[in-house]
Amino acid sequence: MRVPVLIRRPPEILSSEITDEGLFLNRRKFVQAAAAVGAAGVAGSLLRPKGVRAAEPGQDEDKLTPYEDVTSYNNFYEFGTGKGDPVKNAHTLRPRPWTIRVEGEVGKPTTFDIDDIWSRFPPEERVYRLRCVEAWSMVIPWFGFPLADLLTAVEPTSAARFVEFKTLHDTEQMPGQRRGVLPWPYIEGLRMDEAMHPLTILSLGVYGKVLPNQNGAPIRLVVPWKYGFKSIKSIVSIELTREQPRNTWMVQAPNEYGFYANVNPEVDHPRWSQKRERRLGELFKRATLPFNGYADQVASLYAGMDLTRHY
């Protein structure tokens, strides 16, 4: 089941062959028209609100968030806690050479070189909504491959119940780690069935370009039905485990952030509402959808669970 807005799966893409943004945008226009995803176009600035909106904005208007916003408004505390810090500071990250260790409850523990990943798991385009726990959202054309493909390659054992991801921990490359704002390295985790779900991808690029450093180069997780902080960046280690991983934000503030972190308008953050969100580029907020609009694909994973308790 490769449902979501899958556009194409090229056999192999070298970074040198990646479509440049102009061509990409033209292609997008065609694809968008064909798929009736919504009209292309860049959202208006604050002073140009796009006319008067109906009380309930159309949820199907998922226009791509401009590349500039996607790459300049980031939460990546390894490079500073301001939204504009990562784009300024992430030049110290060296995304190549890069290896990812995949180990734990697997038959074939493997250290992958990032270039091998590009050739072994050719990326495809996936356009996903990204909903931040801070109540803003974007629509991003990722370039990635199903995490399931990588996990299958290392042959998980029957004992593997969870997957734990770690970001690089290197204060030279990630100067924000010199401050103890969060416990480093950043850790995230998924249940095995969430990790194997076809919507869950490892991303290598955005807008047909290699991931910019501030977006989590050279490889990051994208789990579109969960709050953005689950989509861990600049991954160096993936471990299949028996125990539920202790993800960073849950450790930091357990009353505010849980392990599951599924987008849920019914469960507010203790300090702010999660009912509505601001799509970047829009003035008027829109309703937040359960599982960020991917309920049809993923709600069954949580059948019978109390999602107010497992937030």
Partner 1 sequence: MNQVQWVRRVLKPAVFVAAAVPFGLLVKDIFGGTLGANPVEEITHRTGFWTLTMLTITLGVTPIRKVLRLNALIRLRRMLGVYAFFYAFLHFTMYALDRAVFSGLGLTVGAIVEDVAERPFVTVGFTAFVLLVPLAITSTKGWVKRLGGKRWQRLHRLVYVAAIGGVFHFLWLVKADIRRPVIFGAILTVLLGYRVGVWWVGKGRRQRAGHVVAAGASS
Distance from C-alpha of 210 to C-alpha of 188, rounded to nearest angstrom: 23
Give least dist CB 181 to partner 1, A: 5
User: Which residues of the chain form contacts with partner 1 (CB under 8 A)?
Assistant: 45-47, 53, 55-57, 65, 68-69, 72-73, 77, 81, 83-84, 134, 136, 179, 181-182, 252-253, 271-272, 276, 278, 280-281, 283-287
CB of 72 to partner 1, least distance (A): 6
CB of 98 to partner 1, least distance (A): 27
Comparing CB distances to partner 1, the nearer of 27 and 285 is 285
79, 110, 114, 111: which is closest to 95 by C-alpha? 114
CB atoms within 10 A of CB 297: 17
Say which residues have a Cβ less than 8 Å from residue 232's Cβ, sequence separation at least 6: 165, 166, 167, 186, 187, 188, 216, 220, 221
Tell me which H or E stretch contains 153: helix 147-153
Place of tokens 């993936």: 238
Report the residue number, 10 or 58, with the smaller CB distance to partner 1: 58
Measured from the CB atom, the residue of 176 and 208 that comes closer to partner 1 is 176
Sign of CA dihedral 220, 223, 228, 232: negative
Give the span between the Cα atoms of 304 and 257, in whole angstroms. Answer: 21
Instruction: In angstroms, give the least distance from the CB of 70 to partner 1.
Output: 8
Min dist. Cβ of residue 55 to partner 1 (A): 5
200 vs 292, which CB is nearer to partner 1? 292
Q: Which of residues 94 and 286 has its CB atom nearest to partner 1 in the complex?
A: 286
